[in-house]
A and B are shown apart, each in its own frame.
Chain A
Amino acid sequence: MTQAPDITEPQAAEPQAAEPTTIAPEAAPSVAAPAEASAVAADDALPQAAPQSLRQTPLHALHVTRGGRMVPFAGYDMPVQYAGGIIAEHNHVRTQAGLFDVSHMGQAFLAGADHETVARALEELVPGDILGLAPGRQRYTQLLDENGGILDDLMVTRSADPAEDGVLMLVINAATKEADYAHLTARLPGNIKLIRAEHRGLVAVQGPMAVQVVGRHCPEAVPLHFMSAISTRFDGIDCHISRSGYTGEDGYEISCKATRLRAIVERLLSEPVVKLIGLGARDSLRLEAGLCLYGHDIDTTTSPVEAALTWSIGKRRREHGDFPGAERVQRELRDGAARLRVGIKPEGRAPAREGTAIKSADGRTIGKVTSGGFGPTVNGPISMGYVEHGFTAPGTPVALIVRDKKLAASVVALPFVPHRYARGA
């Protein structure tokens, strides 16, 4: 038996949050993810000792001790799953609370004289409304190139602390870290400082019981709404907590100094309902939630409009068109994009994975699957991908070409599993 290479490349990670001196970051609504790794049956696909060049997160030893199956991902040696398996981990997050190490993601701060100064500088590079971000609020946006292609997607958080006015925290994808920092450094004005927070670690606690378990150690996190953040303490440890994530469930992302991360994690793992979750379940959870994985569902060839991320483009930004690639984005908003990211539900049990051709009923190729696999909560195969204008309406029948055979499928609305964010009143 040999494994057909699948999700392997370490393309992306996901965005979450970040912080300045006291603050820290967290997670993202639509973004990033796990790719993973080798399955395994052929000898050369067996897990191997990580080459020395792979980086380790502050929790690496803990993953190994706890039975994590380690694989290369975005340049890091990361756990794709633990002993219970991906489906059990996935279901645990949907019903209880899962703990994810996302310390491989990039955390950084942008600092300027005041909020307006730093927000206007960042708005030169992204289509999101950063100026309108209230203190303690977080937003999902994208770094765009001159053609409106997506260089990366990221979470941007404005510090809740008035003493930190002028500080934005960024969480960017692991695989694009270096390119993003080079891009930002080359384009930000001299009065804005980019500070890489490599001394920080980041974990996500996701699931319906996340609020109870995190609340026991950090009561200040309980009243936070989705996409809000505070600098606080978790059992006395300074950290930055945001209510966000990459699973579609309620939950938090907790950033703290790398040296203190393990202490927070040990406290969380002492809670019976909390289990460690690997990249495999992270991928199936985000796919069911309809969230993009950079390098797969979005890249420099896709615009935010094509990627169905129009909701993340600020209204003022659309009108003013003052961001990279605005001409294309405004044209697509006005005339409709030539293609759109949609959900695809295969009718049978066979998964249709990344790269699968999508055809119309009359046999013409109309698109391609960008992420696909098995959805444990859906209990069946699910995919997402791009289809031509005219085939985007939910219910549109399409055919997927899997191993030279046509599989019947239909376009469906995303997400596959409803989001359960704590949006508040």
Chain B
Amino acid sequence: MATMRYTKDHEWIRLDGEVATVGITEHAQQQLGDIVYVELPELGRKVDKGGEAAVVESVKAASDVYAPASGEVVAVNQALDGTPGAVNEEAEGKGWFFRLKLANASELDALMTDEQYKDYLATLS
């Protein structure tokens, strides 16, 4: 079964077997507003937990997206090149950013569960 976790920087990461998919949360999408460009990492790039891995640009501003865990980029969502608005439509589905082959799956243990992330969002408002 897939494991879904969240970061305080509003990324989500979903582990299916050895590969984890990463994106920004529904909350982040709402706050950013219309997304017009996503800069994705190169395939094969090694990213460190907490390191810059992608950039998402709304009409107003550019925001960094950090890797929720360390690993190697094994896939990127090419569809975002032509339709970055997919992130607004379905941030935690078809609006995914990239996939990582994790260096250490236990890094996810320190991230928030769905319930913990909801509680965290409640503290922000």
Q: Do A and B come from one complex?
A: yes
A interface, CB within 8 angstroms of B: 1-7, 36-43, 45-47, 80-81, 85-87, 280, 284, 349-351, 353, 373-374, 376, 381, 403
Checking B9, B27, B60 against A86 with a beta-carbon cut-off of 8 angstroms, the contacting residue is B60
**New contact pairs (9) apart from A1-B63, A6-B60, A351-B57, CB-CB < 8 Å:** A1-B24, A39-B33, A39-B60, A40-B28, A41-B28, A80-B60, A349-B36, A373-B60, A381-B37
Q: Are A280 and B33 in contact, with the CB atoms below 8 A? A: yes
Q: Which residues of B contact A350 (CB under 8 A)?
A: 37, 39, 57
Q: What are 5 A-B interface contacts by the 8 Å CB criterion? A: A2-B66, A41-B28, A350-B57, A351-B37, A403-B55
Q: Known interface pairs A1-B24, A41-B31. Does A374 touch B64 (Cβ–Cβ under 8 Å)?
A: no
Tell me if B61 and A39 are in contact (CB < 8 A): yes
Q: Is B58 an interface residue (CB 8 A)?
A: yes
- Quote the shortest CB–CB distance from B22 to chain A (angstroms): 11
Residues of A within 8 A of B79 (CB): none
A349 to B10, Cβ gap below 8 A? no
Does B62 sit within 8 A of A, measured CB to CB? Answer: yes
Confirm or deny: B72 has a beta carbon within 8 angstroms of a beta carbon on chain A: no
Contact of A46 among B8, B39, B124 (CB under 8 A): B124
Bound: A353/B8 CA distance, A = 27
Alpha-carbon distance A2/B28, docked complex (angstroms): 10
Determine if B92 is an interface residue (Cβ-Cβ < 8 Å): no
CA distance A299 to B56 in the complex (A): 30
- B37, A4: Cβ atoms under 8 Å? no
Cβ proximity bits B21-32 to A, threshold 8 Å, 1 near / 0 not: 000100110011
> Cβ of B62 and Cβ of A4 under 8 Å apart?
yes
- Contact status A4-B59, CB under 8 Å: no
A5 to B64, CA, bound (A): 11
Interface of A is mostly: loop
Known: A1-B9, A1-B10, A350-B39. A87 touches B60 (CB 8 A): no
Complex contact A403–B28 (CB within 8 A)? no
Contact status B36-A374, CB under 8 Å? yes
Across the interface, B59 reaches (CB within 8 A) one of A46, A280, A403, namely A280
Task: Let me know if B63 and A2 touch, CB within 8 A.
Answer: yes
Beta-carbon nearest neighbor of B31 in chain A: A40
Quick check: B59 and A373 within 8 Å, CB to CB? yes
> Taking CB as reference atom, which chain B residue is nearest A37?
B60
Known A-B contacts A41-B28, A374-B57, A403-B39; A4 and B63 likewise in contact (beta carbons under 8 Å): yes
Residue among A3, A284, A353 facing the most chain B CB atoms (10 A cut-off): A3
Does B81 sit at the interface, judged by CB under 8 A? yes
Tell me whether A349 and B37 are in contact in the complex, defined as CB-CB below 8 angstroms, given that A1-B66, A41-B9, A280-B59 are known contacts: yes
Contacting residues of chain B (58-106) with chain A, CB-CB under 8 angstroms: 58-66, 81, 84
Residue contact B60 to A351, C-beta cutoff 8 Å: no
Query: Could you tell me if A39 and B37 are in contact, using CB atoms closer than 8 angstroms?
Result: no
CB distance from B51 to the nearest CB of A (A): 12
Min CB distance B34 to A, Å, is 4
A41–B37 touching, CB < 8 Å: no
Q: Which residues of A contact B58 (CB under 8 A)?
A: 39, 86
Q: Collect the chain B residues with CB atoms within 8 Å of residue A87's CB.
A: 34, 36, 59
Contact B28 A85 (CB under 8 A): no
Question: Contacts of B125 on A, CB cut-off 8 Å?
Answer: 46
- Which residue of chain B has the shortest Cβ distance to A353 in the bound complex? B62
**A-chain residues with CB within 8 Å of residue B57 when the two chains form the complex:** 350-351, 374
